[in-house]
């Protein structure tokens, strides 16, 4: 009887964890890693991945380096943004679901459960790699700005490029592989990710362990 109760308890805990609407990420590592000069020298694109998940700690570190808050007093990030306005968001596709990264609370909000990695691109490797990060620019945050729309849209690419290079350097530092992609079905993905017309996917970054 005791064994049955313990098994039931484990099942309940597991179910509630895997269905969690919000995942608080562990505190990221903020020091260490490969020296910057070595990481830059090692950065490259590769389309070969092991079919291996990464740990929550590794995901936490990846998201912190890519787009985390490195100055809590201002909420500013590891990459620069025009006028300090955080208009670019990271969505994580892994084997469990699609999540939106909240840098301020360093947590993940569940957008869609289940493995949707294969919907991020046509190449086989996208569903093998541990994660695909989608960089999403939200124009609505600039609705009161007098800056021309084209200029604001170009800032979205600038922000994505800066964050994306952070992710590449993290992958290089870990000895992982990564490739950023501009080719994906934006319409289908936007529906899945519940994006509105102001929110545009700029690039998708496939990242994971080497085979
Ligand atoms: C904006 C942008 C879009 C890209 N789109 C794709 C893509 O759709 N598919 C792909 O396999 N690689 C894509 N890449 C990766 C490039 O092919 C790769 O960066 C280039 O070959 C240079 O190699 P390196 O990153 O190793 O320097 C893209 C890179 C950038 C910067």
* pLDDT > 80? residue 7: no
Atom of ligand 1 nearest to the CA of 168: 25
**Averaged over 142-149, what is the pLDDT?**
95
* Backbone Cα Rg of the chain: 18
- Does this model's pTM top 0.75? My answer is yes
Q: What pLDDT sits at residue 190?
A: 98
- Quickly count: other Cβ atoms within 10 Å of residue 172's Cβ: 20
Confidence band, pLDDT 50/70/90 cuts, at residue 14: very low
Residue 122 Cβ inside 6 Å of ligand 1? The answer reads no
Q: What pLDDT sits at residue 8?
A: 52
**Mapping DSSP to helix (H, G, I), strand (E, B) and coil, where does residue 87 land?**
coil
Residue 117 Cβ inside 6 Å of ligand 1? The answer reads no
Atom of ligand 1 nearest to the CA of 164: 31
Beta partners for 13? none
Residue 182 Cβ inside 6 Å of ligand 1? The answer reads yes
* pLDDT > 90? residue 183: yes
Record the tokens describing residue 42, joined without a space: 């090692």
Strand pairing category for 131-138 and 177-181: unpaired
* Domains annotated on the chain, with CATH: 21-208 (3.40.109.10)
Tokens 């979205």 map to which residue? 156
Confidence band, pLDDT 50/70/90 cuts, at residue 17: very low
DSSP secondary structure code for residue 127 in this structure: G
Tokens 């969690």 map to which residue? 20
| Residue-averaged pLDDT of the chain | 93
Q: What pLDDT sits at residue 20?
A: 76
**Averaged over 98-120, what is the pLDDT?**
98
């Amino acid at each position: 009887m005791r064994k049955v109760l313990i098994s039931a308890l484990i099942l309940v805990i597991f179910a509630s964890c895997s269905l969690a609407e919000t995942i608080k990420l562990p505190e990221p590592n903020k020091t260490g890693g490969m020296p910057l000069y070595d990481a830059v020298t090692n950065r490259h694109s590769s389309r070969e991945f092991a079919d291996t998940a990464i740990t929550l700690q590794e995901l936490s570190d990846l998201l912190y380096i890519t787009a985390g808050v490195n100055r809590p007093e201002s909420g500013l990030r590891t990459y620069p943004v025009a006028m300090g306005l955080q208009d670019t968001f990271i969505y994580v596709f892994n084997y469990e679901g699609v999540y939106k990264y909240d840098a301020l609370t360093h947590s993940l909000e569940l957008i869609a459960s289940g493995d949707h990695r294969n919907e991020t691109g046509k190449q086989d490797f996208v569903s093998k790699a541990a994660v695909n990060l989608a960089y999403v620019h939200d124009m609505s945050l600039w609705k009161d700005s007098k800056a021309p729309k084209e200029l604001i849209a170009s800032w979205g690419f600038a922000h994505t490029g800066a964050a994306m290079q952070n992710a590449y350097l993290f992958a290089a530092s870990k000895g992982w592989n990564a490739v950023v992609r501009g080719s994906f079905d934006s319409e289908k993905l936007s529906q899945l990710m519940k994006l509105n017309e102001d929110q545009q996917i700029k690039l998708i970054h496939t990242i994971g362990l080497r085979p």
